[in-house]
Structure 1
């Protein structure tokens, strides 16, 4: 995963963001061919192995490799079909695939590139050549990841934006559905923000939103959790594999953290400082159209928190 902090430093080069030990998946039905590539990359990379197409797909979803070295000719499911399925899945679409195969005809190479492979290397491999090509495609992946990351960051608050949240929500919905685990959403609204803007001015209003974002950024999140700006003075948090009690506890910690910051809000009618109202909803993901129901429930709980006096947390479990 791209180092977001490094992207905003004044001195970064895409190549420098390649992981110290890239995660490579080698797929070949012949163990001897896997061993050849392992000898080339095993010292400097974390190497996963698969001897069938189905196994390769499972490893990709579980391990999220940085790059795949994939044989074309395999029984049951060949490399072309594996690559086609990888590129059709949003969770694996961006993993670069290099075909490593004894097939060297222009037609075979064209077919491989058409289904989404980034390169085509013939066997027997030259260690220096395959090492150089893997390094090139890892660099290109880092550059592409960096651009996607920058496009997914809110320009004002420098936390993830709604576009990234929507993408991650779709992915985590599928993941929690497969694992039969709960997914929780936290919706946040800054209390009386229009009054804050009218009283202090829009520049101070922007500063206020940045402070709220800082509270979210500095919270103790787990690896797959996400906090984002949803729009205007609204923020949203995604908590995979989290039940309602866990989400409510997290929501209350965010509410308390902002209240303890004690940002003055002279125009507020419910507190002397900036506060937030919070709505929480939890669900066991099932049908794809349930995403809208989860977001709607969180929004309803947010409205309930506002109606209940603001600066509070409300939540529900959709089952």
Structure 2
């Protein structure tokens, strides 16, 4: 199995598991230092740049870089504080951090590693060494991401499982509360699925769930959106930075997309449809409870439709 295109650079060879150019964030308050690192990686990576800790933290949350190259001495939030912030955030802690600094005492390196850094490089740096260390950390991250993904995937449908949703839901709820940003949930249930299984058998039922999951996944356009199998024939979508109107639009697209599959449903003499419940504007477990109430309203109103509850 060939994972790397012919003629790829050594750095690209080590990053084939990402399936794209890796995203690298360089954080330094000196533009000359940023440009020096940019020249090393511009041909292999998408390079993001920040000159202070607060901007870097915002970029990490918005762009999810694959690795951070971080200076120690910066105004405001210094490198150690930024690294600690990243490692304290469940959504960001998997991003490896390499310190690139003029501080070269053993205690400086120890402090950086204690803060959660994956590696420590002193200035002036050797470009070949920096590239090799970045390649190593990105390759390790790609392998860890794959293992984590496999642990959080539903074996039948290929979408995320309930365990992963629960973890992400807690993290996204905390993030939304901290940043005062909207968060929405969409619950989807395959209508009269027991009748479908009874009429066609469990193998056909499994295939139906796979096709519905694939259709639902095409409706989520952003990397931060999450689709998971919630249990049985029920699916859940988590939509960060999405208000009620936006979530209703996603839910309606899901309903239309599944209906367009035109899967015959002999148990109801029609097509396979889904009912969807949408909630936004409430926090924590209340968000899920509101979506569940909305789903009940959709079923009570005749199924194959979208209902919603606003907090």
TM-score (norm: length of structure 1): 0.82
Counterpart of 1:273 in structure 2 is: 271
Shift of 1:275: 2.4
Aligned equivalents of 1:309, 1:230: Cα separation in 2: 22
Q: 1:102: Cα distance to partner? A: 2.8
Corresponding residue number in structure 2 for 1:252: 252
CA deviation profile, 1:66-104 (whole Å, cap 9, x unmatched): 211222344554322221121111232111111122333
Mapped partners of 1:259, 1:213: distance in 2: 13
Aligned CA distance change for structure 1 residues 167 and 51 (closer, same or farther; 3 Å) = same
Contact kept? 2:262, 2:271, Cα under 8 Å: yes
Instruction: Please identify, of 293-302 and 16-25, the stretch whose mean Cα deviation from structure 2 is larger.
Output: 16-25
Equivalences for 1:2-13 in 2 at 5 Å?
A: 12=3
1:214 corresponds in structure 2 to: 214
- Residue 94 of structure 2 corresponds to 94
Q: Structure 2 CA distance, aligned partners of 1:56 and 1:220?
A: 27
Q: 1:239 to 1:99 in 2, by over 3 A?
A: closer
Correspondence list, 1:66-77, <5 A:
66-74=66-74, 76-77=76-77
How far apart, CA to CA, are the structure 2 residues paired with 1:220 and 1:316? 21
Unaligned runs of 5+ in 1: 1-9
Aligned residue number for residue 230 of structure 1? 230
| Cα shift at 1:203 | 1.6
Q: Shift of the alpha carbon at 1:21?
A: 4.1
Q: Is the 8 A contact 2:113 2:119 kept in 1?
A: yes
Q: Give the 3-state SS of the residue equivalent to 2:271 in structure 1.
A: coil
* Aligned match of 1:306: 299
1:129 positional shift: 0.8
The alignment's TM-score, normalised by the length of structure 2, stands at: 0.84
Deviation string, structure 1 residues 272-309 (Cα, Å, up to 9, x no partner): 332222212221x5xxxx22111101101112222233
SS in structure 2 opposite 1:310?
Answer: coil
| Shift in Å, 1:222 | 4.0
Does 1:293 find its partner at 2:291? Answer: no
Structure-2 separation of matches of 1:115 and 1:135: 21
**Contact 2:159–2:229 (CA<8 Å) still a contact in 1?**
yes
Q: Distance in 2 between matches of 1:121 and 1:79?
A: 13
Aligned length: 302
Residue 50 of structure 1 corresponds to 50
Where does structure 2 lack aligned partners over 5 or more consecutive residues? 5-13
Counterparts in 2 of 1:109-258, with a 5 A limit?
Answer: 109-177=109-177, 180-219=180-219, 221-258=221-258
Confirm or deny: 8 A CA contact 2:68 2:97 kept in the other structure.
Answer: yes
